[in-house]
A and B are shown apart, each in its own frame.
Chain A
């Protein structure tokens, strides 16, 4: 799999979000502003990635793998924080924070799959480096 700046960003946000929510759950805290913001951050990321992917494709980038599979994953990824939020808010116990914690890791795994589709599974490492320099350094 090709690791680009998008995936690294997703990894950082997703893991931080999950650690925050699971930590709150271990402390037996009910969902609060902190855990909700942690999930909101993941949702915001998926939205930014959705818009950026549309822009990238519109400006000539090509998806190596199946295009519809990529978009299906992306739309699902955008929906997951919403579904997690809804399901957690129906019953606000500390268990709901574990539910919220599931959002981050799930989105990270889906981002990994999306990176595979975007670059193609066997993409050369050069693409990774290119991705890092382009996005990581804002060039």
Chain B
């Protein structure tokens, strides 16, 4: 929880975040934010300049960028709904890196141009593979008990 003075009105109803945005969570959100920016920049540039070369790979890049943006924003937001959205986004991210990673390994010709998730995120020192696992573990540790 961030320290807010009691007189200050909350931005949302006093939704719990169970320490999701505290401590190591801040670092996790930081890394997600960096990946959101990096993936968006990469996809934006690829699509703007060389889309015809590898439309599938570039659309996947754009999809990855959207997933990272949603994960970053929902991780950084208060409340149970945000936690659910974050969990869903991170599961998609994990599936993405596993499926795209495996496909790019099995059939390199189908993925001539790299995405963030190619070869399990090798171009990004495998952070894309580790990040969703850490993210899900973090969300589980800080889940809201019903």
Residues of A that sit less than 8 Å from B by CB: 66, 69, 72-73, 76, 83-84, 87-88, 90-91, 93, 95-96, 98-99, 102, 106
Instruction: Give the total of B residues in contact with A, Cβ under 8 Å.
Output: 17
Docked-complex contact A66 and B26, CB < 8 angstroms:
no
Residues of B that sit less than 8 Å from A by CB: 2-3, 21-24, 26-27, 29-31, 33-34, 37, 41, 45, 49
Contact A84/B30 with A66-B45, A69-B45 known, Cβ cut-off 8 Å: yes
Do most interface residues of chain B lie in helix, strand or loop, or is the interface mixed?
A: helix
B29's nearest neighbour on chain A, judged by CB, is: A87
Docked-complex contact B22 and A91, CB < 8 angstroms:
yes
Do most interface residues of chain A lie in helix, strand or loop, or is the interface mixed?
A: helix
Docked-complex contact A72 and B41, CB < 8 angstroms:
yes
Query: How close is A63's CB to chain B, nearest CB, in angstroms?
Result: 14
Closest 10 CB pairs of A and B: A98-B27, A95-B23, A99-B30, A102-B30, A95-B26, A69-B45, A90-B2, A99-B26, A95-B24, A95-B27
